[in-house]
Structure 1
Amino acid sequence: MISMVKQISVFIENKVGHLAAATDILAKNDINILALFVYDSQEYAILRLIVDKPYETVELFRENGKVVRIKDVMVIEPVNEPGMMNKIFHLLATNNINVDYAYPYAKTGAPYMLVLATSDQEKAYDLISHSEYVINQ
């Protein structure tokens, strides 16, 4: 399985309670977090989210004074066997596509899923979707 989904990136201070405050905004508005990844630096962090209501989430964060961006990322369900992620990364590398970042995505019934952002999302999507590396093509 491979699909494109909207990912929200929110810039927050890297201080105690700021992640909880950001997720409070979602909880209070009945927005479900499907995937979450935090990348930190000393002063700030980037909170990356996949949620069930992406456009509403963007507006809520903006209303709360947060710097927020929305972009398309891939969610893939690789075939569950040793070396499969390696094959996907080599497929991208041999086609001159950089993996900008990747993080796990939970889905009921799936052994594992992966969020993937690359330097060329359209080309990467086409390559991966036409490979034998993902389930239920």
Structure 2
Amino acid sequence: MIIKQLSVFLENRTGRLTELTGILAENDINISAFSIADTTDYGILRMIVGRPDAAADVLRKNGFAVRITDVVGMIVPHKPGGLHKALQIISDNGIAIDYMYAFASGDCKATVVIRADSLDRIIDVLQEHKLELLQAGDVYQL
């Protein structure tokens, strides 16, 4: 239920993201989800990859500053109100969300990646309310 997320510091210059994705591709590491928060000079790329430890190692060897962070993936209905219902449960239980990002595929489900003040607590609350959690095996490469 805990998923490893890579946070990568990226200089804000042309080609840096392309370089990173090329390194991952050359090392047969798939990106399942990502989000970029940027400023004028740099960005933070947060991503879920198929082999997080290998990705962190290869990126560090290529000069990238990488941090591995634990997050939780939650599955919600991909329809109006699907996310709201889940967030209401989280809020009602006093859990603070540090950040989140989401993606949806062609089916009727969306995946939300969450970093919260207490991952154990959010997992307990989501399971208690019968919400589906993303499993590491759903995103990691074998």
Question: What TM-score does the superposition give when structure 1 sets the normalisation length?
Answer: 0.86
Q: State the partner residue of 1:49.
A: 47
* 1:12 is the counterpart of 2:10: yes
Q: Secondary structure at the residue paired with 1:77?
A: strand
Task: Give per-residue Cα distances to partners, 1:56-83, cap 9 Å, x unaligned.
Answer: 0010111112111101111111144432
Unaligned 5+ residue runs, structure 1?
Answer: none
Shift in Å at residue 20 of structure 1? 0.6
Q: Secondary structure at the match of 1:45?
A: strand
CA contact (8 A) 1:79 1:134 kept: no
Structure 2, unpaired ranges of 5+:
134-142
**Alignment partner, residue 93 of structure 2:** 95
For residue 34 of structure 1, what is the aligned residue in structure 2? 32
Matches within 5 A, 1:1-137: 3-105=1-103, 111-134=109-132
- 1:31 corresponds to which letter in structure 2? I
Distance 1:126 1:98 in 2: 14
